[in-house]
Structure 1
Amino acid sequence: MSLILIASAKGAPGASTTALAMAGVWPRQSLLAELDPLGSDLVYRQVAPNGDVLDPNKGMFSLALAARGVLAPDVVREHTQHLPGEQQVLLGLSRPEQGAAWGEHWDKLGRVLAAPGTTDVIADIGRLYPGAPTSALLRHASLILLVSRTGAEDLAHVRARAATVHQQMSVGGRRGAPIGVLLVAPLRKKAQAVDTAARVLAGGGTPAQVAGVVAFDPDAAEQLAGRRRGRTHKTQLVGSVRGIVADLESRFGLGRTVEAVPGREDLEGALR
């Protein structure tokens, strides 16, 4: 399976929304994993296929005990739940204090999520900062995507974080996963945003490259978050993410010959 890590360098630029949208339009079976050590959002915003609330105690919290023993893909699957449309989800921790239970097991989790199989993992790891426990996941990733707004300060932070991530993955001469930057911007300003970000990244000597533009679409983001009802599959946000996913597969070699999920219809049926 491919393990795609989605993170932010600073603030809340839309990494969680991007991860949710990406999992929903992924062309193969996918698992959306909430691995932000600061806590879960989906448990408060989404529901189970039957309309019931999601179980806050089933996910990373319940998996922590299992992680002390032999951790395998089948074990992880036992702690997942489903959103409408049968999207698999591994709910995150309820509060930051629970993150301590994972301790040194983050590396083990990364190894299991990246193990060969038919399910690709889209992991929202929250803010990636120096010393973040989720840094242990980097070495197992197939691709790392940093989500950023397009302000000068935002691009400076993402450039610095990309350089640090590259350095962390290169210890011991290893070749780490490619690093892409997803820009959140109005589509009418897409060309300008890509050009500016590319120049900033190149100026810092980082190997990160612009991987696409996620449409700034507040209404669609509210719908994806479960705060508003509405069809999402034709929104600019989902359309832009669908295009990014298609490009990621060819650009970074993520595509594999795996049968598509039967009956999967973007996000219209998968999310509220």
Structure 2
Amino acid sequence: MTLIAMISAKGSPGVSTAALAFTLTWPAPVLLAECDPAGGDLLAGYLARYELPPDRGVLPLASSALRGTADADLTGNLIDLDAPCQQRMALPGLTEPAQSASLNMAWTALGEFFSRMTSRTVLADCGRLAAAHPPWSLLSQADLVLLAVRPHSLRTVSPAVSALSALRRQLPPGFVEQSVGLLLVGGGIPAREVARHLGTPVAATLPWDPQTAAALCGDGRGRRRAPLMRHGAAAYDTITELIAARSVAGALSRRDTEPLPVTS
């Protein structure tokens, strides 16, 4: 179906919370893959009340992807967030940041595996670009990279400038223009102004909802109709529409640049 990677520049604009809110509210089957090289948050937060096997997650699946056995080993590495429905699945992340160096060769294989998954949308929480060993090769295979930004002030928006520059340096030419969108978390500078300043369209917006965010981190109980969850559900349409529009634009661009057939 679709691979959507979610990243932030630096600080804590709420990319992991947003990824979990999307996973719990989107109407399509979703796989939340914790691909943050700094380590995952699910096992210590939202899933902390459960006793779960420690030997499942992105690290063993990465090894399977390199061996070519990821299809067979996927189910054994997942956690069902709404058991037994298997509509909202999670792939726990690294338990130690030091493990991220061992994934440098595996991000490509994981990205390829996620990209050809047809049964569900994959949301890859890739954490902060400022962390060591960002998963560049996985990002390059995403249908959309969502860059989370807090539009509270110029100070909170400015880190996105360097993040977009890094994406342009590390990813193929034209990728940022074709496959990157902004996820604005909280209020402040109007979305139109943020998009103009960064030269990147806004794919979705989420409210600043500390109570619900804390519940998603395992601290207290949240409400399904809380602002964060309602806006998370609404983001599905705006994000999928952006992906579809860019896919059509890309197809038209490729058609226009194809050489004309030679006729005799």
- State if a TM-score over 0.5 links the two structures: yes
- Which residue of the other structure, out of 251, 254, 257, is the alignment partner of 2:242? 251
For residue 199 of structure 1, the aligned residue among 187, 196, 208 is 196
Instruction: Select the residue among 141, 144, 160 that pairs with 1:158.
Output: 160
Structure-to-structure mapping, 1:1-272, within 5 angstroms:
1-47=1-47, 52-85=50-83, 86=86, 87-129=88-130, 132-150=133-151, 151-171=153-173, 177-186=178-187, 189=188, 192-202=189-199, 208-231=200-223, 233-253=224-244
RMSD: 2.4
User: Which aligned runs of 4 or more in structure 1 are off by greater than 3 angstroms?
Assistant: 71-74, 129-133, 173-177
C-alpha separation in 1, matches of 2:222 and 2:162: 38
In 1, are the aligned partners of 2:65 and 2:113 still within 8 Å (CA)? no
Counterpart in the other structure of 1:262: none
CA separation of 1:102/1:132 partners in 2, compared to 1, >3 Å: closer, same or farther? closer
TM-score, scaled relative to structure 1:
0.80
Aligned length: 241
Cα deviation code 1:132-179 (max 9, x no counterpart): 3311112210100011111212322213312331343324x7787521
Percent identical = 32
Structure 1: runs of 5 or more not aligned: 203-207, 255-272
Distance 2:232 2:214 in 1: 16
Whole-Å separation in 1 of the counterparts to 2:11 and 2:113: 29
| Structure 1 CA distance for aligned equivalents of residues 225 and 15 of structure 2 | 20
* 1:175–1:198 CA distance, 2 compared to 1 (3 A): closer
Name stretches of at least 5 consecutive residues in structure 2 with no aligned partner. 246-264
Which moves more between the two structures, 109-118 or 97-106? 97-106
Letter in 2 for 1:53: E
Amino acid at match of 1:179: V
CA contact (8 A) 2:8 2:128 kept: yes
Q: How far 1:60 moved relative to its partner? A: 1.6
Provide closer, same or farther for how the CA distance between residues 69 and 162 of structure 1 changes in structure 2, counting only shifts above 3 A.
Answer: same
Say whether the 8 Å CA contact 2:37–2:132 is kept in structure 1. Answer: no
Larger radius of gyration: 2
